[in-house]
Structure 1
Amino acid sequence: MGRARTRSGYISTALGFFRSLFPRNLRTNNMKIKTGKFLGVSVSLILINLAAIMERADENLLPSVYKEVSEAFNAGPSDLGYLTFVRNFVQGLASPLAGVLVITYDRPIVLAIGTLCWALSTAAVGASNYFIQVALWRAVNGFGLAIVIPALQSFIADSYKDGTRGAGFGLLNLIGTIGGIGGGVVATVMAGSEFWGVPGWRCAFIMMATLSAVIGLLVFLFVVDPRKHTEREELMVQKISVWNDSWAATKSVVKVRTFQIIVLQGIVGSLPWTAMVFFTMWFELIGFDHNQTAALLGVFATGCAIGTLMGGIIADKMSRIFPNSGRVMCAQFSAFMGIPFSVILLKGIPQSRESYLTFSITLFLMGLTISWCGSAVNAPMFAEVVPPKHRTMIYAFDRAFEGSFSSFAAPLVGILSEKMFGYDSKGIDPLKGSSVREAEALSKGLLSMMAVPFGLCCLSYTPLHFVFKKDRENAKMASSKDVEMI
């Protein structure tokens, strides 16, 4: 069954041209094999996960070369924090656009547009000569990610059933984290070299942009939207404008109590993850070289990857035993574990090269336990508290609120490190590239933006024990009415 599409003007012409290059039967549901089952295989899901790999790799590129970018543009930690702020803030503001686009176009089209947008901006960052150019293209990068991430999440939500959705999101995060490891490790290693006279960090950006563009094209050509064809026809028949439909979806989403609570916890719970972009710079200030730093970040990312899948499987089982509280308990455990691990990592371990093994073990265990909330709890619960047609919108608004507020974490780490704890970029040894004093100051700034937010996040989940059941029942009733009307 081919995908129904609504196009006009130049979009119709361009998409029609690409479609003509490939026969229609290459883009049909005949390519599917058990899409909805855990570890099921389909061309669509393979390409969606490849897109997730490139999305996570793109996110990790700049933080992995903070030190080189700092030297290239004479920028301090607060300046680097502003780059993350700009991208995350624009991403947050633009995320609802994904919900609007999905009402009109199939999700593979939306994913392809967003992927090509972030690929262009990534290449432009690698070619920038001035700091203001980097900031501008990071904003464009945030716009592309704003379109991609909610569409990816709703695609996965529609591809799995309630009882396996946690494992589905865990698998997506596991595979995506592979991209994060690859992007971070490749950029960190390449940053220490030059290629044809071009700094390695710039080459890494251009290489990742090229791969992202290729994946975006493949997604457009071969991915099949799991949304039912009848739902698409129903939307096309209705004589309602896109904006009215979007406004109705928005009102339906924002009044859900479960959504409100998860967004509230996400505002504080995403702060530590945003602050972690300084890990690469911190390890290099301690004295680890590029390869050692890349290995440490790879260990942490591996722990997070395994943790997301493990957390998703555990949460699925807990939700069957405790339907109304199982996922919430998993989230609170995961958020709480962020407190002791942040203290151990940033204060308990001596900040010297001799602590390499201790850092590795701590980072792995930390990633294994603090990474459950998104895949095991938030994403599956969102899919259960709104009708299927509003899933992209709820993921979009979640990214809008969380992304906008969490974007302040990175510049705050830089400001705290410089203004309160005495970080001074002039104190860094230009030959060794390390400084015990500056590493200590940066670790204090990181701790301030990690331990406390993790604790607040854990507490913020508590009301879900009482409101999730009612919201889920309301969503089932709304979905039943929609089916009857169709």
Structure 2
Amino acid sequence: MAAIMERADENLLPSVYKEVSEAFSAGPSDLGYLTFIRNFVQGLASPLAGILVITYDRPTVLAMGTMCWALSTAAVGGSRYFRQVAFWRAVNGFGLAIVIPALQSFIADSYMDGVRGAGFGFLNLVGTIGGIGGGVLATVMAGYEFWGVPGWRCAFIIFATLSCIIGFLVFVFVVDPRRTISIDHATGESPDSVRDDLIEKANASSVSVWLESWTTMKSVMKVQTFQIIVLQGLVGSLPWTAMVFFTLWFQLIGFDHNSAAALLSLFAGGCALGTLLGGVVADRMSHLYPHSGRIMCAQFSAFMGIPFSWFLLRIIPQSVSSYHTFAVTLFIMGLTISWCGTAANAPMFAEVVPAKHRTMIYAFDRAFEGSFSSFAAPIVGILSEKIYGYDAKSVDPKTGSLPEALALSRGLFSMMAVPFGLCCLFYTPLYRYFRRDRENARLASLKEAEMI
């Protein structure tokens, strides 16, 4: 449920870019700035999740982050000025920075190596349900007013309220897998006493917490598999950040709110099934080719982004009459380009560091990828306006504008095709280093178990 609300929250603002643009007289570069500031803050703050889980159990960390993003989402819905929106988007990024790494390490600890891809795939599948719901609801509500309040503002308030409820449920009912393991090692101690002992030891010295955090950071940064995956992620995440403009692009072509929401839902549905499919296929491939199966799946998925970006943005006629072509293309595109995270990145991270370092490795991955990819959205806006001639004043609020749609599609293509190709290329060194790093992590875990 937390994953569902997290993805819904991510999709809210991009789904109402057109209405936000009209409300605050903002062009694509301004809208890209809103995505940039949230992703940049999220990237910089992500290591904080790794530090927090040393002191607190992960359900508490998840609840803290959920409440933080709920507050900021409600504040965006009530903002009167563009700078207020920008500030609260930064706060939103801080909340997501805490939630996402803790959630990923939670899943990594809950599944064994051979089925971890399916576990992450299922997490992304249910999360995408929230993304579809958030995007569709916000896009549809944006076309109406409720009690004199614009529909897009009401959508933000509704999702903020739901996020608060989910955060409370996570805090009350979720049990950390590490806590269960600690109980198994304890002799006759109750869960509450075990947790209290762990927290007391963690709080015994703030210096020891920071020292442990620093040691963990250095250990994670030295893993070459981590370095390579981060390198591909720096460019591989650019297209996904640029895709926040898809809703605006379809509305500029002339699609109404419902049609644009349906197209984005098909793409999100394809991505949801694709993440699960990629995770399952990679699990099977890892049994056949233990040291290279996941890497091959990731390279296939990244490569498929090149022809699909070209066909979607440059070949299909940008007209409302191309609705069915857009629909089929978006679904198959989502089905094939969404494998990398669940097929390779997330499962491989869990295998190349000891279990106690998992939150930190996911946190640092989000730190590097999130901060770098945050530049994609404003770059798309700048390219569209400064190079391809996008003019926000020429957009008709009801029918859109085909010249501006063409300009935006060119900016999108620039930030999608080339990064997908580089992402595919940058996975190649893993064929050499992944096997060695996984073996080192296995030996380190065995030594730690012997000491315990």
TM-score by length of 1: 0.88
1:297 matched to 2:264? The reply is yes
Cα separation, partners in 2 of 1:236 and 1:472, compared to 1, 3 Å:
farther
1:113 matched to 2:64? The reply is yes
1:412 matched to 2:379? The reply is yes
Aligned equivalents of 1:442, 1:293: Cα separation in 2 = 16
SS at structure 1 position matched to 2:177: coil
Alpha-carbon offset, residue 374 of structure 1:
0.6
1:435 matched to 2:386? The reply is no
1:54-93 residue pairs with structure 2 within 5 A? 54-93=5-44
The runs of 4+ residues in structure 1 deviating greater than 6 Å are none
| Equivalence for 1:250 | 217
1:272-351 residue pairs with structure 2 within 5 A? 272-351=239-318
| Equivalence for 1:403 | 370
Please list the CA deviations of residues 202-238 of structure 1 after superposition, one character each: whole Å capped at 9, or x if unmatched: 0000000000000000000000000121597678658
Alpha-carbon offset, residue 481 of structure 1:
1.2
Cα separation, partners in 2 of 1:477 and 1:280, compared to 1, 3 Å:
same
1:217 matched to 2:217? The reply is no
Aligned equivalents of 2:434, 2:199: Cα separation in 1 = 29
| Equivalence for 1:473 | 439
From 132, 135, 152, the counterpart of 2:83: 132
Aligned equivalents of 1:145, 1:328: Cα separation in 2 = 28
Aligned equivalents of 2:297, 2:434: Cα separation in 1 = 14
| Equivalence for 1:367 | 334
Alpha-carbon offset, residue 429 of structure 1:
2.1
| Equivalence for 2:117 | 166
Q: Which amino acid aligns with 1:475?
A: A
Aligned equivalents of 2:11, 2:264: Cα separation in 1 = 10
Question: Could you tell me whether the CA contact under 8 Å between 2:56 and 2:199 is conserved in 1?
Answer: no
Question: Could you tell me whether the CA contact under 8 Å between 2:66 and 2:163 is conserved in 1?
Answer: yes
Question: Could you tell me whether the CA contact under 8 Å between 2:28 and 2:382 is conserved in 1?
Answer: yes
Please list the CA deviations of residues 127-157 of structure 1 after superposition, one character each: whole Å capped at 9, or x if unmatched: 0000000000000000000000000000000
Please list the CA deviations of residues 325-348 of structure 1 after superposition, one character each: whole Å capped at 9, or x if unmatched: 000000000000000000000001
| Equivalence for 1:151 | 102
Aligned equivalents of 1:274, 1:138: Cα separation in 2 = 15
Q: Which amino acid aligns with 1:186?
A: L
| Equivalence for 1:14 | none
Please list the CA deviations of residues 224-280 of structure 1 after superposition, one character each: whole Å capped at 9, or x if unmatched: 000121597678658761100100110110000000000000000000000000000
Q: Which amino acid aligns with 1:259?
A: F
| Equivalence for 1:451 | 417
Q: Which amino acid aligns with 1:131?
A: F
CA RMSD of aligned residues (A): 1.2
Aligned equivalents of 1:70, 1:415: Cα separation in 2 = 15
Aligned equivalents of 2:365, 2:333: Cα separation in 1 = 25
- Kindly, what percent of the aligned residue pairs are identical? 78
Question: Could you tell me whether the CA contact under 8 Å between 2:278 and 2:339 is conserved in 1?
Answer: yes
From 201, 221, 235, the counterpart of 2:152: 201
SS at structure 1 position matched to 2:167: helix
Aligned equivalents of 1:354, 1:399: Cα separation in 2 = 39
Alpha-carbon offset, residue 426 of structure 1:
1.3
Please list the CA deviations of residues 310-358 of structure 1 after superposition, one character each: whole Å capped at 9, or x if unmatched: 0000000000110000000000000000000000000010000000000
Q: Which amino acid aligns with 1:150?
A: P
Give 5+ residue unaligned stretches, structure 2: 187-194
SS at structure 2 position matched to 1:92: helix
Q: Which amino acid aligns with 2:112?
A: K
SS at structure 2 position matched to 1:279: helix
From 236, 260, 275, the counterpart of 1:269: 236
Alpha-carbon offset, residue 433 of structure 1:
3.7
Alpha-carbon offset, residue 174 of structure 1:
0.3
| Equivalence for 2:192 | none
1:385 matched to 2:352? The reply is yes
Please list the CA deviations of residues 15-42 of structure 1 after superposition, one character each: whole Å capped at 9, or x if unmatched: xxxxxxxxxxxxxxxxxxxxxxxxxxxx
Between stretches 211-220 and 420-429, larger displacement belongs to 420-429
Aligned equivalents of 2:161, 2:446: Cα separation in 1 = 44
Aligned equivalents of 1:234, 1:325: Cα separation in 2 = 39
Aligned equivalents of 1:111, 1:316: Cα separation in 2 = 28
Alpha-carbon offset, residue 166 of structure 1:
0.1
Q: Which amino acid aligns with 1:132?
A: R
Aligned equivalents of 1:326, 1:463: Cα separation in 2 = 14
Aligned equivalents of 1:419, 1:433: Cα separation in 2 = 23
SS at structure 1 position matched to 2:390: coil
1:142 matched to 2:90? The reply is no
Give 5+ residue unaligned stretches, structure 1: 1-49
| Equivalence for 1:17 | none
Alpha-carbon offset, residue 296 of structure 1:
0.1
Aligned equivalents of 2:150, 2:422: Cα separation in 1 = 42
From 429, 435, 449, the counterpart of 1:483: 449
SS at structure 1 position matched to 2:428: coil
| Equivalence for 2:190 | none
Aligned equivalents of 2:451, 2:250: Cα separation in 1 = 58
Aligned equivalents of 1:268, 1:87: Cα separation in 2 = 18
The total of aligned residue pairs comes to 436
Aligned equivalents of 1:205, 1:318: Cα separation in 2 = 42
Aligned equivalents of 1:256, 1:356: Cα separation in 2 = 46
